[in-house]
Amino acid sequence: MIHSMASAFTHQLTSVALLLLLLYFPPISESNNLFCDAGSEYGGPQCGIQSSSKILIKGGTVVNAHHQQIADVYVEDGIVVAVQPNINVGDDVKVLDATGKFVMPGGIDPHTHLAMEFMGSETIDDFFSGQAAALAGGTTMHIDFVIPINGSLTAGFEAYEKKAKNSCMDYGFHMAITKWDEVVSDEMEVMVKEKGINSFKFFMAYKGSFMINDELLIEGFKRCKSLGALAMVHAENGDAVFEGQKRMIELGITGPEGHALSRPPLLEGEATTRAIRLAEFVNTPLYVVHVMSMDAMEEIAKARKAGQRVIGEPVVSGLVLDDSWLWHSDFVTAAKYVMSPPIRASGHNKALQAALATGILQLVGTDHCAFNSTQKAFGIDDFRKIPNGVNGIEERMHLVWDTMVESGQISVTDYVRLTSTEWGRLK
Ligand SMILES: [Zn+2]
Ligand SMILES: [Zn+2]
């Protein structure tokens, strides 16, 4: 990282046991030029090579979501032209020996927040630094959430187009819906038909800012259905969280542990089942972002078993960490782990891993939303003011490898599916 970010994974022991040969070949387009323009530190030497290059990656085990085989990968001008054994090439082709290594597509992180204004501050990673971190960790595309400005989707979209100008890799957008009226409903159509955004997130938490009530949730689901767009939810009961927070403050619990205590798993379970049932009522698919608890996961399992189209996204912090860090006596350390829904007690993480391995949950995001320790310190006397969010955009690929593949819970092809290709299939 190029700044002192509060990393929730500093204490995580990780070993990248294999040499991942992760490809980063941006399409020959705008993003390539942006990569070059973005600065000499990351852009310099690669720019010339990428504009007209011929590369052969030889003898690696090429893995996709369904199959793996020993093969060569021939790449011309940033595009994979051929994947087959024993490709012969001329002297003008740069040959990279990948014998004994896996050759995989770059990761796609379906859930990030770069340059997001939130809780009186702005996330410390902008599109450039966040994407540089992503690339360092093997992720070559991410989907960020456009946050509307005073409810306006158009204004929000324009602001995010500006924020994303210093991008150095591929990205896409979901859009949050933070209020409801005819204008928003019309703007959703513009986003789908003209701006290429076809996933919309509704917040059932963050009372007083992003939260919407059930009436609006139903309206939003109906609109998604009519547009053929995907409805997504942040599933926590915001009214009950508000009550839980009040309770903690009354008890004199003001530290980061109050964050976890004020919004227990049952509030995530309640909102998850409510969203699932309302989506069933409207008859539209539902994507539950950052599934952090057994309670939420079990609701998704039940719905999927009954044949409902529900997609569950765990995030890497929920899969590998537990809430013990929130009880750390040092505020700076504990505050790093404050995100919503909270990182849960030990046991939830293992259950989420098992759900991912058995297909109850489908793909892994990060909810990368990084604040530094100065920003986290806004809440030194009151956990409600600690900006919510942890990192992960750089660490996701190797942590999922360590936790899921090294442990034998999933295969290498599964790994490619849930870190990369699944998002494309959903769309
Ligand atoms: Zn959220
Ligand atoms: Zn998020």
Average of per-residue pLDDT across 356-369: 98
What is the structure's pLDDT at 44? 39
Q: Are 244 and 299 in contact (CB under 8 A)?
A: no
Which ligand sits closest to the CA of 233? 1
Average of per-residue pLDDT across 23-32: 38
The CA 145 to ligand 2 mean position distance, Å, reads 8
Which ligand sits closest to the CA of 291? 1
Q: d(Cα 372, Cα 389) in Å, to the nearest integer?
A: 10
User: In whole angstroms, how far apart are CA 68 and each of 174, 248, 284, 412?
Assistant: 31, 52, 35, 8
Q: Are 337 and 343 in contact (CB under 8 A)?
A: yes
Q: d(Cα 126, Cα 163) in Å, to the nearest integer?
A: 7
What pairs with residue 312 in β-bridges? 288
Lowest-confidence range among 14-28, 155-169, 220-234?
A: 14-28
The CA 287 to ligand 2 mean position distance, Å, reads 13
What is the structure's pLDDT at 297? 98
> Which of 152, 133, 150, 151 has the alpha carbon at shortest distance from 142?
133
The CA 318 to ligand 2 mean position distance, Å, reads 13
Which ligand sits closest to the CA of 210? 1
Which ligand sits closest to the CA of 116? 2
Going by their DSSP bridges, the two strands 54-63 and 68-76 should be labelled as antiparallel
> In this structure, what token pair is assigned to residue 353?
């891993």
The CA 22 to ligand 1 mean position distance, Å, reads 29
Q: d(Cα 110, Cα 332) in Å, to the nearest integer?
A: 28
The CA 315 to ligand 2 mean position distance, Å, reads 10
Mean pLDDT score of the chain: 90
Which ligand sits closest to the CA of 203? 1
Which ligand sits closest to the CA of 147? 2
> In this structure, what token pair is assigned to residue 302?
């039940």
Which ligand sits closest to the CA of 369? 2
> Which of 102, 76, 79 has the alpha carbon at shortest distance from 90?
76
Going by their DSSP bridges, the two strands 199-203 and 230-234 should be labelled as parallel
What is the structure's pLDDT at 204? 97
Q: d(Cα 15, Cα 290) in Å, to the nearest integer?
A: 25
Strand, helix or coil at 18?
coil
Neighbours of 395 (CB within 10 A): 26
Of the ranges 1-15, 48-62, 148-162, the best mean pLDDT one = 148-162
The CA 201 to ligand 2 mean position distance, Å, reads 9
The CA 176 to ligand 1 mean position distance, Å, reads 10
What is the structure's pLDDT at 84? 95
Which ligand sits closest to the CA of 367? 2
The CA 295 to ligand 2 mean position distance, Å, reads 19
The CA 69 to ligand 1 mean position distance, Å, reads 38
Q: d(Cα 410, Cα 419) in Å, to the nearest integer?
A: 12
Q: What is the CATH number of domain 24-104?
A: 2.30.40.10
Domain locations in the chain as residue ranges? 24-104, 107-426
Length of the chain (residues): 427
The CA 234 to ligand 1 mean position distance, Å, reads 5
pLDDT, tens digit, 9 for 90 and up, residues 286-336 = 999 999 999 999 999 999 999 999 999 999 999 999 999 999 999 999 999
User: In whole angstroms, how far apart are CA 164 and each of 172, 196, 210, 220?
Assistant: 10, 15, 22, 26
> Which of 156, 301, 281 has the alpha carbon at shortest distance from 225?
281
pLDDT, tens digit, 9 for 90 and up, residues 110-165 = 999 999 998 888 999 999 999 999 999 999 999 999 999 999 999 999 999 999 99
The CA 2 to ligand 2 mean position distance, Å, reads 22
What pairs with residue 97 in β-bridges? 58
Question: Across 225-337, where does the E strand assignment appear?
Answer: 230-234, 286-288, 310-312
Which ligand sits closest to the CA of 392? 2
The CA 367 to ligand 2 mean position distance, Å, reads 4
The CA 114 to ligand 2 mean position distance, Å, reads 10
Query: Angle at which helices 153-163 and 182-194 pack, to 10 degrees?
Result: 40
pTM summary value = 0.90
> Which of 251, 276, 244 has the alpha carbon at shortest distance from 340?
244
The CA 289 to ligand 1 mean position distance, Å, reads 7
Fold classification of 107-426 (topology level): TIM Barrel (3.20.20)
